[in-house]
Structure 1
Amino acid sequence: MISKNKHNTLFLFFIAFTAVSYAQHHNISAGYIPPSDHLVQQNLEEWQDLKFGLFMHWGTYSQWGIVESWSLCPEDEGWTVRRGPHSDNYFEYKKAYENLQTTFNPTAFNPEKWAQAAQQAGMKYVVFTTKHHDGFAMFDTKQSDYKITDAKTPFSSSPRADVTKEIFHTFRDKGFKIGAYFSKPDWHTEHYWWPYFPPKDRNVNYDPAKYPERWNKFKQFTYNQIEELMTNYGRVDILWLDGGWVRPLASVDTTVDWQRTIKVEQDIDMPRIAAMARRHQPGLLVVDRTVPGEFENYVTPEQQVPDKSLDIPWESCMTMGSSWSYVPDDTYKPARDIVHTLIKIVSRGGNYLLNIGPGPHGDWDPDAYDRLQAVGGWMAINSEGIYATRPVAPYNEGDVYYTRKNDGSATYAFMLSTEDTVELPTSVRLPLPGGGAVKRVELLGIGKLRFKETDDALEITIPKNRRQPVDLRYATVFKLTH
């Protein structure tokens, strides 16, 4: 254990690390296979109605304010750069990184505060990183002592040390669907990165075909950890699996740059894992990212919004700040940008999973709360055009985006504002959406408006006394009742 003074010095040094998002391009898998299990179908339909979720990347790396896990990966990429006193020696660096376990003590951890802020913002589900690629478990696994509940971790003495259990319980009590992020690769266990060989990239550092006994131990290790999450943590709705290079070799798409690094078979037997998980959690959504087939129940474009509507279930996972993990003095996206992104994603049929990285003391940056509060103010007026909707032609024209209620009773036209405040024109012309005659037009938060219908458009009149509404910000929403 390093002394407090030395630890503070190192911490201050490491928070100067750059931890820019450097988002890898996660391809949208081809060949989507709809689930056949009716309980999974039902859960998927419910999930598609929720639209807005919270993602949290959190681990020991928050103490250094660096990118999550990736500085352990010996690849020459922007997101794997090592900096600091051990950066010139990989093995010393890895030892120092793993020693962060002995100083991790997030005493400000308060999941009730997070759940309240997320609920007020209009979020409906949460996905939490139970284990990232570095292998540090944020839950009470019995498969490893590299975990938050181990005696070597100072926070283990807290009655809330099993933060995964606390987060899942707290958010579930507020009606959220619960998602468990889990990394298939594990760069800590000797069954994936065998110390006999140095790691050379993100992949397993030995040939599983040559050492099948070792690989089988890794498969069982993975199975056991996922079973712990599926049996000890209450109702789980989503198993969100990351690390798509752990996959059958035959599924590799060589047109994708990062998949070309996969040279050996890394099949962990997803049929067995999924069957076990759904035995414990009927209707569970399994999201085996970037691995096409029956275990990728929805696709997950990362840090990007598809430029058109997709006809399969999908979710954009994106950061509120510059990084997935906590970065000191990070720059958070303006609330207007978050609202506009939500509208664009929902108009194209997707869900928006917005990431906030908790800091080393166990709380979010105040700016994150400010953004959620502002988004929540907008959602309080306009959320009926977000939830339980699907895409509808013409999808969008210019800065106007459309959604439609599942039952077809109403269409919503979102008119994006270039400023935080909204100043409406005297009249608005909207391309006429399909789905039947429009019987009523209202501006959410304001009320009923006069309109007339032409061959291909609605012409809506906005009275002078309603053109500068005090409470409308970021985007206005016209509800067209059919």
Structure 2
Amino acid sequence: MKRTLFYLGFALACVTSAVAAQQSPTAPTAKTLSPQDADLAWQKATAKFAPQRQATLARVAEHMNDGSFRADWASLQHYSSPTWYDDAKFGIFIHWGVYSVPAFGSEWYSRNMYQPNTADFAHHVATYGPQSKFGYKDFIPLFKAEHFDPAAWAELFKQAGARYVVPVAEHHDGFAMYDSQLSEWTAAKMGPHRDVIGELEKAVRAQGLHFGVSSHRAEHDWFFDGGRKFDSDVNDPRYAGLYGPAQAHLAKQDEDLYNDWTYVSEAWRDDWLARTAELIDAYHPDLIYFDWWVGHPTFRDTLPKMLAYYYNQGAKRGGVVVNYKQGDFFEGAGTLDIERGQLTGIQPAHWQTDTSISNASWGYIQGDTYKSPKELIHLLVDVVSKNGNLLLNIGPRSDGTIPADAQQILLAIGSWLKTNGDAIYATQPWRSFGEGPTEVVGGTFQDNKTKPYTAQDFRFTRKGGALFAIELGWPAGGKAVIHSIKPEDHVRAVSLLANGKSVQWQQQPDGLHLSLPAQPVGDYAYVYRIELAN
């Protein structure tokens, strides 16, 4: 509470501070607006959408308490994730937008191209010219998506074994990939001139998969702040509807909420709520994924309204999910997501990790490298054994094609799941998540710190009367010992899930000893179906 009051006090102080700025509105020059003036410039640029925004907010206010949830954190902490999500285990994340046109650095190119002394800034000037002549807005006409085939995408995701699909509806860059009635800067009105989210929703649901959306709108409040500090198109009021307030971001690091004194106006929070409600009402997502900045303390009173509105609507159709980053919500009010990282041990509440199939970026960039199917399958197995889901991201090219390497990796995962999915889907953790010498480093952004798994590493899941022991390597000599299975567990039968062949076994004081048949096709992970008498 003390930290929240400090944030609010600092925000009020920011409003009263102004830096003098002299600039012709038609010829941008370097300047810094006060937080209040920056917000007013954005409000003026989006004034024509005010009636629709207010109508949406009124609808939220009228219906947010229509159900078992109320718009307060105490009520929202009674949330639990729905069965469809707990059983799904594997989903596809999609980062696709205007940032796929420059295809350089990462999906944060939109921000970094306005940050001097970065590789993105230097690349932009060298390739496209100064930001006063060619800004981020000028990539929009080049974002044509001429080969975008939502039906083909959805079929690929189905073949990959995914059970839900979550495209980014709006990234930090403020360009909506859906047909928003609250902005003209949308894929339906510019660039592809297509409602990308709407088309994907229909295609994904046609494959029998659940459909979600990701909103990074909150971060857009400050995302283009670098362009305020020099001669760039961010300072041109004609483009304030795209570039937003571009508030001075006052965190020591971009993702540091504990040291973030960035000003957030009530108008911005209202717009965020209206745009989120618009997504809920127009596309009825089964899941909404939020990036970290909704955890900024100024959102604390706005979030409960959105959550109650969404959860109460979702309860009528089997339950919905909201993914949030650590510390953003009060515990229990949503489903925790660990970005590019994992948790250690079995978690009492269902959770999720998200990572990208590529190594450097979430969006498509030229020359990116990819994780192997083996690495990703091992990640999935480890996460599921701890009561979690894996949301795996891909980054399509600007023309709407998915890189061949990414497609082949997805198909390899799907092939493994087709054979071994009974040990993954609709399973629950066992009494132990696993055994062996290899354990992950817990926390966010730790996905490159885990050592390769060995044939001594097992992960466990259970379903009905079956225990699944998943070995993360083929043992030398075809002999394996599962130490976690004790003599009192009373094993009745063991078979290889991949081909149904029986496995010779013997229970000894140090565990279950297996004498394996020939190694089955596929070298990623090997599943033993173990029938127990109790």
Counterpart secondary structure, 1:86: helix
Alignment of 1:259-298 (within 5 A): 265-267=298-300, 269-282=302-315, 283-290=319-326, 291-293=328-330, 296-298=333-335
Match of 2:490 in 1: 437
Matches of 2:385 and 2:201, distance apart in 1 = 29
Alignment of 1:309-320 (within 5 A): 309-320=346-357
Structure holding more helix per residue: 2
Contact map agreement 1:300 1:317 (CA 8 A) in 2: yes
- Which whole-Å deviations, capped at 9, do the CAs of 1:237-296 have from their partners, x for residues lacking one? 111111426521xxxxxxxxxxxxxxxx45461111112223443332222323131575
Counterpart secondary structure, 1:391: strand
Match of 2:275 in 1: 225
Tell me the TM-score normalized by structure 2.
0.69
CA shift in 2, pair 1:193/1:246, >3 Å: farther
Match of 1:416 in 2: 472
- Which whole-Å deviations, capped at 9, do the CAs of 1:35-55 have from their partners, x for residues lacking one? 666xx53x4333122111101
- Gap regions ≥5 residues in structure 1: 1-31, 209-214, 249-264
Contact map agreement 1:128 1:181 (CA 8 A) in 2: yes
Contact map agreement 1:131 1:138 (CA 8 A) in 2: yes
- Percent identity (aligned): 24
89, 92, 101: which is aligned to 2:140?
101
Tell me the TM-score normalized by structure 1.
0.76
- Kindly provide the amino acid, as one letter, of the partner of residue 182 in structure 1: S
CA shift in 2, pair 1:403/1:54, >3 Å: same
CA shift in 2, pair 1:69/1:136, >3 Å: farther
Residue 144 of structure 1 pairs with residue 183 of structure 2: yes
CA shift in 2, pair 1:276/1:87, >3 Å: farther
Match of 1:7 in 2: none
Counterpart secondary structure, 1:306: coil
Contact map agreement 1:334 1:371 (CA 8 A) in 2: yes
Counterpart secondary structure, 2:293: coil
Work out the number of aligned pairs and report it: 409
Contact map agreement 2:173 2:243 (CA 8 A) in 1: no
Matches of 1:93 and 1:433, distance apart in 2 = 67
Contact map agreement 1:346 1:391 (CA 8 A) in 2: yes
Shift of 1:74: 9.0
Match of 2:296 in 1: 247
Matches of 1:71 and 1:80, distance apart in 2 = 12
Shift of 1:355: 0.6
Q: Greater Rg, structure 1 or structure 2?
A: 2
Matches of 1:92 and 1:313, distance apart in 2 = 45
Residue 216 of structure 1 pairs with residue 266 of structure 2: yes
Matches of 2:133 and 2:478, distance apart in 1 = 63
Match of 1:163 in 2: 196
- Which whole-Å deviations, capped at 9, do the CAs of 1:352-391 have from their partners, x for residues lacking one? 1111001110011001111111112211211111112233
- Kindly provide the amino acid, as one letter, of the partner of residue 414 in structure 1: I
Bigger shift: residues 301-310 or 115-124: 301-310
Match of 2:154 in 1: 115
Contact map agreement 1:107 1:362 (CA 8 A) in 2: yes
Contact map agreement 1:270 1:295 (CA 8 A) in 2: no
- Kindly provide the amino acid, as one letter, of the partner of residue 413 in structure 1: A
Contact map agreement 1:55 1:128 (CA 8 A) in 2: yes
- Which whole-Å deviations, capped at 9, do the CAs of 1:115-157 have from their partners, x for residues lacking one? 212211211111110001111000000111111011xx2421x
- Kindly provide the amino acid, as one letter, of the partner of residue 318 in structure 1: T
Residue 372 of structure 1 pairs with residue 436 of structure 2: no
Match of 1:427 in 2: 479
- Kindly provide the amino acid, as one letter, of the partner of residue 224 in structure 1: A
Shift of 1:80: 8.5
Contact map agreement 1:240 1:286 (CA 8 A) in 2: yes
Shift of 1:65: 0.5
Match of 1:185 in 2: 219
Matches of 1:59 and 1:481, distance apart in 2 = 48
Residue 84 of structure 1 pairs with residue 135 of structure 2: no
Match of 1:401 in 2: 458
Match of 1:56 in 2: 94
- Which whole-Å deviations, capped at 9, do the CAs of 1:29-81 have from their partners, x for residues lacking one? xxx999666xx53x433312211110111100100003223541699799985
Match of 2:166 in 1: 127
- Which whole-Å deviations, capped at 9, do the CAs of 1:1-48 have from their partners, x for residues lacking one? xxxxxxxxxxxxxxxxxxxxxxxxxxxxxxx999666xx53x433312
Alignment of 1:63-82 (within 5 A): 63-66=101-104, 67-69=106-108, 71-72=110-111, 81-82=120-121
- Kindly provide the amino acid, as one letter, of the partner of residue 62 in structure 1: S
- Which whole-Å deviations, capped at 9, do the CAs of 1:278-326 have from their partners, x for residues lacking one? 3443332222323131575221111122343333322111111121000
CA shift in 2, pair 1:457/1:442, >3 Å: same
Bigger shift: residues 122-131 or 73-82: 73-82
514, 521, 534: which is aligned to 1:460?
514
Matches of 2:133 and 2:166, distance apart in 1 = 27
Match of 1:340 in 2: 378
CA shift in 2, pair 1:267/1:311, >3 Å: closer
- Which whole-Å deviations, capped at 9, do the CAs of 1:184-229 have from their partners, x for residues lacking one? 222476699536x666665999744xxxxxx232222112211221
Counterpart secondary structure, 1:155: coil
Contact map agreement 2:374 2:524 (CA 8 A) in 1: yes
Contact map agreement 1:70 1:80 (CA 8 A) in 2: no
Matches of 2:133 and 2:354, distance apart in 1 = 28
- Kindly provide the amino acid, as one letter, of the partner of residue 477 in structure 2: P
Matches of 1:397 and 1:65, distance apart in 2 = 41
Contact map agreement 2:423 2:462 (CA 8 A) in 1: yes
- Kindly provide the amino acid, as one letter, of the partner of residue 128 in structure 1: P
Counterpart secondary structure, 1:402: strand
Matches of 2:262 and 2:423, distance apart in 1 = 51
CA shift in 2, pair 1:181/1:296, >3 Å: farther
Matches of 1:65 and 1:112, distance apart in 2 = 24
Residue 385 of structure 1 pairs with residue 433 of structure 2: no
CA shift in 2, pair 1:75/1:303, >3 Å: farther
- Kindly provide the amino acid, as one letter, of the partner of residue 309 in structure 1: I
Shift of 1:92: 2.1
CA shift in 2, pair 1:205/1:63, >3 Å: farther
Contact map agreement 2:433 2:461 (CA 8 A) in 1: no
Contact map agreement 1:378 1:473 (CA 8 A) in 2: no
Matches of 1:185 and 1:317, distance apart in 2 = 19
